[in-house]
Structure 1
Amino acid sequence: MTTSYDCSEPAQRADGLAHAQRAVAANQCVVLPTDTVYGIAADAFSPQAVATLLASKGRGRNMPPPVLIPRVQTMDGLATDVHPDARKLAEAFWPGGLTLIFRAQPSLTWDLGETLGTVALRVPDDALALDLLTLTGPMAVSSANRTGSPAATTGAEAYAQLADSVEVYLEGGPRSGTASTIVDATGEDLVLVRAGSISLTQLQEVVPGVREPGAPDDSDGSAPLDPDDAGTPQPPAHH
């Protein structure tokens, strides 16, 4: 049965995290706050759970979800050939509103959809999300809304759209609704896919070579993009 927990109450927070951990282990979906919007989450390593997540949103395998991780160090277990400049961005902006697209480790037995060998990773700057990720490990997460509808900024907004397709709702209060910034780090140069809560100027203060989409030597567009993982659908210009 679907249960919602008010995580501003310490007892409910503890019960909610425990229930969410059990739900993720059972291949069910949960809703949790992040630093940008509310997300619908499932075990990233369970094809059944990821399929349930996509079905809950009304989405096909052609738009694979990003993966939230609990710490920067987890990146090296999931991504391969990590660009040194991407590592600089991760160290500068994680936890935070930056999603980095990498080549996925080929040995991983997961199925996030039609990723073309890539994976989008982020460490959210939200204590509740990080506590759950520490318990569950990496989770596939998309914005907690039906595809094409506005991203939820509260647990109640998420429930209004997703209802009983989700086992556990963790309510942590309103979130900004500002999209995460997405950078494609699969090529020789880092390319801004979507501007969001971190500006291009901020990125270039750390890595001056980050380019806007459409600039010369752009990537081949093979990286996955969940167009509303944290905001209004906004396909990148070069994909």
Structure 2
Amino acid sequence: MSFGIADAVAALRRGEAIGLPTETVYGLAADASRPEAVRRIFELKGRPADHPLIVHIAGASRLDAWATDIPAAARTLASAFWPGPLTLILRKQAHVPDEVTGGQATVGLRCPAHPIALDVLRAFGGGLAAPSANRFGRISPTTAAHVREEFGDAVPVVLNGGECTIGIESTILDLSSDTPRILRPGMISRAQIEAVIGPVADGVAGDSPRASGTLEAHYAPRTPLLLLPRPALLDEARQQSAFGKRIAVLALDTLPDGLDGLALPAAADAYAHGLYAALRTLDARGVNLLLAERPPEDGAWLAVHDRLRRSAAGAGAGDDAP
């Protein structure tokens, strides 16, 4: 069944969660102002209640509805990068439900760069809490079909916005303290941010707020996954095959001769676009082990490395793993 904007808005007003396309990944979206609607997201995903959600808004003009003590840098960055894959962590307004923030004094805000998501936000008129539309810790969805595979009829309304153009989650920048700090890398890089607001720190600090997608194990297939440079990958494939194990490979640029699997482009943005779909495809093959070729180490690949590392850390765990 095909659904439109009116169907999605009606479902949101009923307190339901919907499948929402964005440029990064598909989100499981619900009314961020209604605690019971937000709790439905957690129930569907099996997500820990203290793990905060990102609120999607229709534009920078909605910042003050959700955040307070907003620094000038936030408005400057929103002007530079919104709509787009940048989440800003700010001090929350008092009315923002604890269900959204995990009980913290901060809230993550983003304006997505997808026409359907923006149409829904404008028609709905409020903010939408929208983590990735998958079971907690599992591979993020980049098509409407992936959302259906995850939830079936439990999420009746899924809007089909095609493949996500970026394919991995947004950069998260904490602006709630004196030092701007990147908590999760994305396709908006540190260099791009610093070109707009000056120096920023990198990596979670001891006093950083909790943020989406920063657990060590995340974005994970059910099949065990090793991340290796090509020479070590080839050796591992030979050894595992000798023990009778079935192997599938996620290679960079070209698939090694004689091995089953997929190859993704040797450009960071194109690789990111195809990463989660490739992991889902390989995970469904029923092999014993996935081997992913380690990409280049330069800055353009930072977000891809982050996702692959967390995928490997969580791979092979059961559905109820934290």
TM-score by length of 1: 0.85
CA–CA distance in structure 2, aligned partners of residues 42 and 25 of structure 1: 9
Tell me what 2:213 maps to: 227
CA–CA distance in structure 2, aligned partners of residues 148 and 47 of structure 1: 22
Does 1:174 pair with 2:167? no
CA–CA distance in structure 2, aligned partners of residues 113 and 206 of structure 1: 27
Tell me what 1:35 maps to: 23
CA–CA distance in structure 2, aligned partners of residues 199 and 140 of structure 1: 24
Tell me what 1:91 maps to: 79
Tell me what 1:100 maps to: 88
Q: How many residues align?
A: 218
Tell me what 2:52 maps to: 64
CA deviations over 1:54-98 (Å, ceiling 9, x no partner)? 111111211121100001110011101111112211111010000
Tell me what 1:197 maps to: 187
Give secondary structure in 2 for the equivalent of 1:142: coil
CA–CA distance in structure 2, aligned partners of residues 101 and 62 of structure 1: 16
Once the two structures are TM-superposed, the CA of residue 109 in structure 1 deviates from its matched residue by 5.4
Point out where structure 1 has 5 or more consecutive residues left out of the alignment. 6-14
Contact 2:101 2:107 in 1 (8 A): no
Q: Which residue identity does 2:25 align to in structure 1?
A: V
Once the two structures are TM-superposed, the CA of residue 118 in structure 1 deviates from its matched residue by 0.9
Q: Which residue identity does 1:226 align to in structure 2?
A: S
| Cα gap change, 1:38 to 1:109, in 2 (>3 Å) | closer
CA deviations over 1:163-189 (Å, ceiling 9, x no partner)? 122120101111131221000010011
Once the two structures are TM-superposed, the CA of residue 209 in structure 1 deviates from its matched residue by 2.0
Higher helix proportion: 2
Contact 1:61 1:113 in 2 (8 A): no
TM-score by length of 2: 0.64
Once the two structures are TM-superposed, the CA of residue 108 in structure 1 deviates from its matched residue by 4.1
Q: Which residue identity does 2:69 align to in structure 1?
A: D
Larger deviation, residues 111-120 vs 71-80: 111-120
Q: Which residue identity does 1:225 align to in structure 2?
A: A
CA–CA distance in structure 1, aligned partners of residues 153 and 202 of structure 2: 40
Once the two structures are TM-superposed, the CA of residue 26 in structure 1 deviates from its matched residue by 0.3
| Cα gap change, 1:103 to 1:164, in 2 (>3 Å) | same
Does 1:55 pair with 2:55? no
Once the two structures are TM-superposed, the CA of residue 18 in structure 1 deviates from its matched residue by 0.7
Tell me what 2:238 maps to: none
Contact 2:52 2:99 in 1 (8 A): no
| Cα gap change, 1:46 to 1:107, in 2 (>3 Å) | closer
| Cα gap change, 1:219 to 1:84, in 2 (>3 Å) | farther
Tell me what 2:131 maps to: 142
Contact 1:45 1:111 in 2 (8 A): no
Structure whose CA Rg is larger:
2
Contact 1:68 1:123 in 2 (8 A): yes
Does 1:124 pair with 2:107? no
Query: Taking every aligned residue pair, what percent have the same amino acid on both sides?
Result: 37
Point out where structure 2 has 5 or more consecutive residues left out of the alignment. 221-305, 308-322
